[in-house]
Structure 1
């Protein structure tokens, strides 16, 4: 069938045409600052505030909670940014590269779990956003959730460019809002007196580290989705630093506010986060701005979640069908299905269901740390960035249908974490001995990472001599 070549007008279109297919050089655009603003803005949001507050609510002091959170940000942010640095080199969404380690069919296992997790995270964010939208527009929760979901469909449907624009807007609005919130929260309180109250315990410190590290690692399955359009000549190190600094600084700002709010407000904050934050506004106009800021922050991250889940669904479907891409119409259908699923869960979980489901989602993180370790070890130390991109879409190609070695290591990586898991959904038998702290993410990175490297060295690498990418690309039929 005849195919048309990409034009400048196509390139400048606001509506994204690509899906999981390779982004050719002629369509690469953007700069590293957009990576910083995207992840900085995505982390200036109420859920990150709540995560930071948990470090104090669950027994930590202010000083060591802040130190522990920062260490966790650095560790988890490094893992996350290493995934992000793959984007410009491969020109592909993050999870497609899993076909190297698991096979074209085998990669569907982590892909399905990714879809479940991000749809669930979107549902939780939609509930909080619905509350903010309701206060802003004076509508009931159900109507507010539907309005918010419609915006997510629109932005996700438009795709990559609009998502990065959202990141820039969220960075500006979020920075101004948090400056005001910190000033209001600390008015009449001496920060040095809060920091002077120190009672270090290993359990509380490890909890703070685990909270922020897990927060960052959860971005891993889709971070390269938002860097894959950068020019191929973009430095991997500079990409890493842009993503790393944006996500670490943004999350640490939000979590620091959560720590201070929990320490100063106690029960007035815990369980009433949105109301407390807006209550700092003092006047109706400022309160409205804060509701808007909360809704905007959740809109940014929920759009990221929806877009990432759509890429994962597309990767599953094309894995079975042997396709290299999907049409814009099919992608929009996937957007509708993804947002409908998260919105339905949000409507069901406005009250009690969502709390239990959130515990289940945190449990799902157990399945992503070994995936992350395997993917990074393979890319940076085994294949050393030498992927055969066309073979990722060929079940009879270099990577085959199933990679039993990768799947076996992945299964072991999941199982070895079970004794260390501490969630409302499941708690492992060794958690009590560790003071109730979940350190499964550490085990889930180290064990499968080392094991995969050893297995790969023994079996030998099937990597090509250099990175192989498709020839000149054209539009879909």
Structure 2
């Protein structure tokens, strides 16, 4: 299904664009494809594991479900607000960070984003390797390598292929989870499970943090997958399509994880894939479940690999002032990032659950300030009035370094340090708060307020209208 007026763009299997602006003549796609992409990306086993952590780490069933839903809505709103920028700017998400940090300064969050891609992809490869290995009858090492090769191929094909994968994954995922829920809950009283209630503030906020961090972590690349939509696409409808798909998919997966952890106990933690497939007994059904798990991980890991191209390219081109990269460089970046993820997956597959939990929660401290700054700037300071050509010019409107944005970002990270509670790092104030981690709340609110206040002094640098590279008369709107 294509949006009206998109027929001018020829269909090509291999995407030729990278970090450059997408002209209107090449825009295509529909809001439904945004919904299916993010639904399919979240109906997957890593989201199941993340939901299970709410119970594995001490929560009850009822309040874990409630906390996960609250976190989905909050984090999903942040994530979808980033996604709504794609049709307006026609750019990958992190390029717009040059407005807030400067052309060179944006490299700071970009490096952290690259670490995120590697970490999430590695965790996904561990679970995908387990599933693919059982399906193909090969060892986990060989399965991870096969999976990595598939990711490289799909990421190299690009945007259209990724959205096609999203549609397939959403259909397969919905059918698989209907079957899994029926199998898991067969013979069990759901009401009795929901009566498992012993509310504690710490466990509830842990569940909120798990799902909120899951959603917010998509923020640095969500616009990468909406930037081809026509500029006439409603920002509100884009927000709803992206957010609904992501929140619905993640909540379904995490609810399953909560029920699985509550019913299976020690049989689930550390044996996630085998437990899920065991619900399908054996034979053809079990094989299909292994394939479904691998397919779900293939979708999200391809998103990570494709997003890594945008981030690494944004780092490299920031110093050179280029607006695009060659096809050969694009493939090289994919191989680099997927290779790093594969190496990490092979090295750390035995301690996945514990390490992934710590990584996911600690990662939040570095992306909530970036999200807060980017969203406040786009919606409240510049109000969508970006000078897109200047984003590639270190000597242009946005300069090399925006020290105001960089300092606010650093403060946003530092103010969270005493409040973080993970096995990787625990802040000095956590014990006084009863073990409750409220760092991500502070990490959103403090930098949002600080950036809004300091940026008010620079309003004369904001263009009077959005300036795009290929729109007639755009140069007349450059006055600040």
TM-score, normalised to structure 2's length? 0.95
What secondary structure, in the 3-state scheme, does the structure 2 residue paired with 1:78 have? helix
Matched with 1:238 is 237
Matched with 1:457 is 456
Matched with 2:273 is 274
Q: Is the 8 A contact 1:346 1:354 kept in 2?
A: no
Matched with 2:322 is 323
Matched with 2:478 is none
Q: Is the 8 A contact 1:93 1:311 kept in 2?
A: yes
1:118-173 deviation line (CA, Å, top 9, x unaligned):
11110111111111111000111111111000000000000000000010000000
1:351 is the counterpart of 2:350: yes
1:357 deviation in Å?
7.2
Q: Is the 8 A contact 1:37 1:171 kept in 2?
A: yes
Task: Quickly say closer, same or farther: Cα 1:58–1:258, change in 2 above 3 A.
Answer: same
2:243, 2:433 → 1: CA distance? 30
1:16, 1:423 → 2: CA distance? 40
2:364, 2:203 → 1: CA distance? 20
1:121, 1:285 → 2: CA distance? 30
1:351 deviation in Å?
2.4
1:24 is the counterpart of 2:23: yes
1:426 deviation in Å?
1.1
1:325 deviation in Å?
0.4
How many residue pairs were aligned? 467
Q: Is the 8 A contact 1:382 1:461 kept in 2?
A: no
Task: Quickly say closer, same or farther: Cα 1:459–1:398, change in 2 above 3 A.
Answer: closer
Q: Is the 8 A contact 1:36 1:243 kept in 2?
A: yes
2:139, 2:159 → 1: CA distance? 31
Matched with 1:42 is 41
Task: Quickly say closer, same or farther: Cα 1:424–1:418, change in 2 above 3 A.
Answer: same
Task: Quickly say closer, same or farther: Cα 1:348–1:153, change in 2 above 3 A.
Answer: same
Moved more, 139-148 or 343-352: 343-352
1:359 deviation in Å?
3.1
2:249, 2:467 → 1: CA distance? 36
1:461, 1:201 → 2: CA distance? 49
2:156, 2:255 → 1: CA distance? 34
Q: Is the 8 A contact 1:136 1:291 kept in 2?
A: yes
Q: How does 1:100-179 map to 2 (within 5 A)?
A: 100-179=99-178
Matched with 1:376 is 375
Matched with 2:64 is 65
What secondary structure, in the 3-state scheme, does the structure 1 residue paired with 2:221 have? helix
1:472 deviation in Å?
6.2
Matched with 1:420 is 419
1:256, 1:352 → 2: CA distance? 23
Matched with 2:466 is 467
Q: Is the 8 A contact 1:98 1:375 kept in 2?
A: yes
Matched with 2:477 is none
What secondary structure, in the 3-state scheme, does the structure 2 residue paired with 1:350 have? helix
1:312 is the counterpart of 2:330: no
1:365 deviation in Å?
2.6
1:320, 1:458 → 2: CA distance? 27
Task: Quickly say closer, same or farther: Cα 1:378–1:338, change in 2 above 3 A.
Answer: same
Matched with 2:285 is 286
TM-score, normalised to structure 1's length? 0.95
Matched with 1:437 is 436
What secondary structure, in the 3-state scheme, does the structure 1 residue paired with 2:62 have? helix
1:219 is the counterpart of 2:218: yes
Moved more, 199-208 or 230-239: 199-208
Matched with 1:54 is 53
Moved more, 363-372 or 410-419: 363-372
2:261, 2:135 → 1: CA distance? 25
1:215, 1:356 → 2: CA distance? 15
1:23 deviation in Å?
0.2
1:255-297 deviation line (CA, Å, top 9, x unaligned):
0001111111111112211111000001211110110011011
Q: Structure 2: where are the runs of 5+ without partners?
A: 1-5, 473-480
Moved more, 65-74 or 454-463: 454-463
1:224, 1:353 → 2: CA distance? 29
1:343, 1:62 → 2: CA distance? 34
CA RMSD for the aligned pairs? Answer: 1.6
2:275, 2:24 → 1: CA distance? 48
2:388, 2:282 → 1: CA distance? 56
Q: Is the 8 A contact 2:126 2:352 kept in 1?
A: no
2:190, 2:351 → 1: CA distance? 36
1:387 deviation in Å?
0.3
1:456 deviation in Å?
1.1
